[in-house]
């Protein structure tokens, strides 16, 4: 059977090709290549096992009475297994006898409700990353609040109160602080990451001051972390794996002494750990130029720099995780 030619089809194909060429021609070549190399996806969240993915991503359910937090009542807080966001406090946990951990309240703004796929129940998910937690029920009369969050143990990580009360700080400079801050905030055990300046002589420097390259300050991120969940060596290794420590006074397209790679140590142990990691990288062929300097005053950057990529709903353009150890 002869195929009929569709009138105008060739013209449409040519038109589509022209549109694609025009769109890509309008983008700077450097940005295109950078985006291709550093595009981020869900790998910025914690790595999950197959069973964790079945529950957290595919909205499955663990077997009743099998979760490690079902009959568990230590004082502390419960965080999302996928992104570490704080979800529940132990003071709101109660014994319901249902077979899964039960809470009659959540941390404000931490849990989102939506209609379940079955069209009847109400599903609860992490408001930060969308991880499936379980379901919420009302009107059962089990507590004064008359609410029961029925949560899969596998969707959570418990942090004891005593371990949360002694946070530590670490300071890393690896180019534009937007990307360094963004990736550290995804690291398990990190409580917060703040963009700022360190290493220079000027007090209370502004972004404009630092950008001129005459203050001696580096764009630095202050990482506050829970030593019970992540240690300093793990953080330092992560730092070397989210930027290129072989670039001198730059990081990707950002050029200037303020983008220099450096670690500011606060103890002798931290200094030894960083030097050890640098030696390992050099033995593996990396020409590391990262400076190891004593920490001095950290100056917090302007508010518009904080959580920059979160506000813009974008991903880092010159920082990406690459395993080096």
98 is catalytic: no
126 is catalytic: no
Q: Which of 83, 129, 176, 318 is catalytic?
A: 176
Degrees, nearest 5: CA angle 165-167-70 = 55
β-pairing verdict for 291-294 and 261-265: parallel
Rounded alpha-carbon distances, angstroms, from residue 150 to 83, 104, 160, 283: 19, 9, 21, 51
Written as six digits, the tokens of 158 are 């418990």
Degrees, nearest 5: CA angle 173-174-179 = 110
Counting Cα atoms < 13 Å in the Cβ hemisphere of 140 gives: 15
Written as six digits, the tokens of 113 are 């409700």
Written as six digits, the tokens of 197 are 């300046």
Written as six digits, the tokens of 292 are 């190891």
Strand partners, 67: none
Distance between CA 12 and CA 220 in Å, rounded?
51
Written as six digits, the tokens of 308 are 């920059």
Distance between CA 249 and CA 251 in Å, rounded?
7
Written as six digits, the tokens of 156 are 């959570």
Distance between CA 311 and CA 214 in Å, rounded?
29
Q: From the CB of residue 291, how many other CB atoms can be counted at a distance below 10 Å?
A: 14
Positions marked active-site: 150, 176
């Amino acid at each position: 059977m002869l195929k009929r030619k569709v009138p105008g089809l060739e013209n449409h194909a040519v038109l589509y090709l022209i549109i694609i060429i025009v769109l890509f021609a309008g983008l700077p070549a450097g940005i295109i290549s950078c985006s291709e190399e550093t595009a981020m996806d869900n790998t910025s969240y914690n790595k999950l096992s197959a069973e964790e993915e079945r529950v957290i991503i595919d909205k499955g359910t663990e077997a009743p009475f099998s979760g490690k937090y079902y009959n568990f009542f230590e004082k502390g807080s419960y965080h999302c297994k996928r992104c570490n966001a704080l979800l529940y406090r132990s003071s709101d946990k109660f014994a319901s006898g249902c077979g899964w951990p039960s809470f009659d309240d959540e941390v404000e703004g931490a849990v989102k409700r939506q209609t379940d796929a079955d069209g009847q129940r109400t599903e609860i998910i992490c408001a930060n990353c969308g991880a499936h937690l379980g379901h919420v029920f009302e009107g059962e009369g089990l507590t004064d609040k008359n609410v029961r969050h029925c949560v899969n143990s596998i969707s959570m990580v418990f942090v004891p109160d005593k371990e949360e009360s002694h946070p530590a700080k670490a300071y890393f400079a690896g180019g534009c602080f937007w990307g360094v801050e963004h990736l550290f905030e995804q690291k398990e055990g990190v409580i917060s990451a703040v963009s700022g300046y360190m290493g220079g002589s000027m007090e209370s420097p502004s972004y404009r001051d630092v950008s001129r390259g005459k203050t001696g300050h580096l764009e630095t991120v202050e990482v506050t972390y829970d030593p019970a969940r992540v240690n300093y060596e793990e953080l330092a290794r992560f730092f070397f794996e989210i930027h290129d420590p072989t670039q001198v006074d730059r990081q990707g397209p950002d050029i200037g002494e303020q983008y220099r790679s450096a670690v500011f140590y606060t103890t002798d142990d931290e200094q030894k750990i960083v030097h050890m990691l640098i030696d390992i990288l050099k033995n593996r062929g990396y020409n590391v130029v990262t400076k190891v300097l004593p920490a001095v005053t950290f100056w917090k950057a302007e508010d518009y720099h904080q959580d920059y990529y979160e506000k813009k709903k974008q991903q880092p353009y010159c920082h990406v995780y690459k395993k080096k150890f």
